[in-house]
């Protein structure tokens, strides 16, 4: 890949994710210190907050302003259906306020603010424009505005994920992790929940990013207060862990049992010789933990019939791979992001490892364990 190819796209994406993290932190602070009126529930029972729609609107509006609306195709999780309902007027007001408050600060991130506050109709339009279905041709931004909504609502881990696919290939990924500390690791007794009453708990968070083929993944601290964002803003290289002994390895899996077969992963862990308890973490922060060397393995085996969506993995996959890790399905095949909204043709599950030694052992354990399980 040419050295400067996608340089502008990556820089814009990183700036946009930084401003989205700021928006989320403000909404979460309000959510944790107020009632839950700001939370709606989607058909699949996952809660959707003001932050989901607000981030989607902000990202859509900024990308369209910078690259031209006719050049921007966005695959994203949320639609305006719930927001359009007659009983959602308070929710809509909260979204409009959050979006405009966020965009008013765009200059701090080196981005352009609108000339005047956006009307509700413009915000609807921005959210509705995120209606692409991706596919093998063209250029598509892939957005998960708040990945790990349950983690967000509970004050735990969540992520803002933005990736770019061109010609069916992942070309860059940016992952904002507002509650992921810059220095300490995730640990077993604390799922990194935060309380709005302890001010220092908000002085953390980071953004990770990588461009396909560069062999490098980077981490930046989130900015706080009136500090102006500088590119590349104290970015430092990150790399996966060098641990390849299963007995020393840490493995992550989803918190929710509906999205992961914990019994099967426990059996795999045992057969591989993993000694540590699993880290159960909301969202793509699991990919961040591997890219940064805080964990060595992430495995996800969803219930039968569940289809993995591209926005739940795209940004994390490219960052882990460029940081030196390996991400495949459970058969050892690369993930295919060219087939629309879902990771079609997935063999059993998804595994991410810090290196090929652990990856080979894990794939071997899957094959050995699969027939005796009842997924």
Q: Are 115 and 61 in contact (CB under 8 A)?
A: no
Asked if 18 and 136 sit in the same domain, the reply is yes
Asked if 154 and 259 sit in the same domain, the reply is no
Residue 213 belongs to domain spanning: 7-238
Coil, strand, or helix at residue 371?
coil
Is 371 one of the annotated active-site residues of the chain? no
**pTM of this prediction exceeds 0.85:** yes
Asked if 267 and 150 sit in the same domain, the reply is no
Asked if 143 and 90 sit in the same domain, the reply is yes
Which of 238, 254, 274 represents a domain boundary (last residue)? 238
Has residue 4 got a pLDDT over 70?
yes
Nearest to 156 by CA among 254, 271, 258, 65: 254
Is 82 one of the annotated active-site residues of the chain? no
Asked if 76 and 164 sit in the same domain, the reply is yes
Q: What is the mean pLDDT of the chain?
A: 88
d(CA 305, CA 175): 27
Model confidence at 260, pLDDT cuts 50, 70, 90, reads confident
Longest dimension (CA), the chain: 62
CA 28 to chain CA mean position, Å:
16
d(CA 292, CA 296): 10
120-to-83, 90, 94, 127, 128 alpha-carbon distances in Å:
11, 12, 10, 11, 12
CATH no. for residue 298? 3.40.190.80
Which of 222, 238, 254 represents a domain boundary (last residue)? 238
Asked if 147 and 278 sit in the same domain, the reply is no
Of these residues, 43, 45, 49, 52, which one is catalytic? 52
d(CA 366, CA 115): 55
Q: What percent of the chain clears pLDDT 70, i.e. is strictly above it?
A: 88
Q: Is residue 1 part of a domain?
A: no
- Name the domain count of the chain: 2
Query: Residues within the annotated binding site for Mg(2+)?
Result: 77, 144, 147, 312
d(CA 281, CA 300): 12
Which of 179, 205, 238 represents a domain boundary (last residue)? 238
Torsion sign over Cα 156, 162, 168, 171: negative
Q: Is residue 375 part of a domain?
A: no
Q: Is residue 83 part of a domain?
A: yes
Instruction: Cite the DSSP H helix spans in the chain.
Output: 7-32, 50-67, 89-103, 120-128, 149-153, 262-272, 285-291, 314-322, 356-370
- pLDDT tens for each residue of 172-202: 999 999 999 876 555 544 444 444 434 444 4
Asked if 22 and 149 sit in the same domain, the reply is yes
Of these residues, 49, 82, 137, 149, which one is catalytic? 149
CATH no. for residue 45? 3.30.540.10
Please state the φ and ψ torsions of residue 244, each to the nearest 5 degrees: -125, 10
Mean pLDDT on 275-279: 86
Q: Is residue 42 part of a domain?
A: yes
Q: Is residue 99 part of a domain?
A: yes
């Amino acid at each position: 890949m040419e050295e400067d190819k996608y340089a502008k796209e990556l820089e814009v994406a990183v700036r946009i994710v930084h401003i989205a993290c700021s928006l989320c932190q403000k909404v979460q602070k309000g959510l944790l210190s107020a009632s839950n009126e700001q939370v709606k529930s989607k058909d699949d029972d996952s809660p959707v907050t003001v932050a989901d729609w607000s981030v989607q609107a902000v990202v859509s509006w900024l990308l369209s302003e910078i690259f031209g609306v006719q050049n921007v195709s966005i695959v994203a999780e949320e639609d305006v259906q719930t927001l359009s309902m007659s009983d959602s007027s308070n929710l809509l007001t909260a979204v409009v306020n959050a979006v405009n408050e966020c965009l008013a600060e765009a200059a701090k991130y080196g981005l352009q603010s609108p000339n005047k506050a956006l009307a509700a109709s413009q915000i609807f339009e921005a959210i509705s424009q995120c209606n692409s279905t991706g596919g093998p041709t063209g250029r598509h931004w892939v957005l998960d505005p708040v990945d790990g909504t349950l983690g967000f609502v509970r004050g735990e881990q969540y992520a803002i994920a933005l990736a770019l696919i061109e010609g069916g290939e992942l070309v860059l990924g940016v992952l904002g992790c507002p509650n992921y500390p810059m220095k300490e690791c995730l640990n077993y007794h604390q799922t990194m929940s935060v309380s709005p009453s302890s001010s220092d708990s908000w002085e953390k968070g980071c953004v990770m990013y990588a461009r396909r083929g560069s062999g490098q993944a980077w981490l930046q601290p989130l900015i706080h207060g009136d500090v102006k964002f500088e590119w590349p803003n104290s970015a430092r290289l990150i790399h996966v862990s060098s641990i390849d002994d299963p007995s020393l390895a840490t493995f992550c899996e989803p918190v929710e049992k509906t999205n992961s077969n914990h019994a099967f992963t426990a059996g795999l862990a045992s057969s591989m010789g993993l000694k540590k308890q699993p880290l159960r973490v909301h969202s793509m922060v699991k990919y961040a933990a591997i890219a940064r060397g805080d964990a060595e393995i992430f495995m996800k085996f969803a219930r039968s019939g569940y289809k993995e969506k591209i926005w739940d993995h795209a940004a994390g996959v490219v960052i882990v791979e460029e940081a030196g890790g390996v991400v495949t399905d459970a058969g050892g095949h690369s993930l295919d992001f060219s087939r629309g909204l879902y990771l079609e043709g997935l063999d059993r599950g998804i595994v991410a490892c810090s290196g090929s030694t652990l990856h080979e052992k894990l794939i071997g354990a899957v094959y050995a364990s699969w027939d005796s399980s009842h997924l």
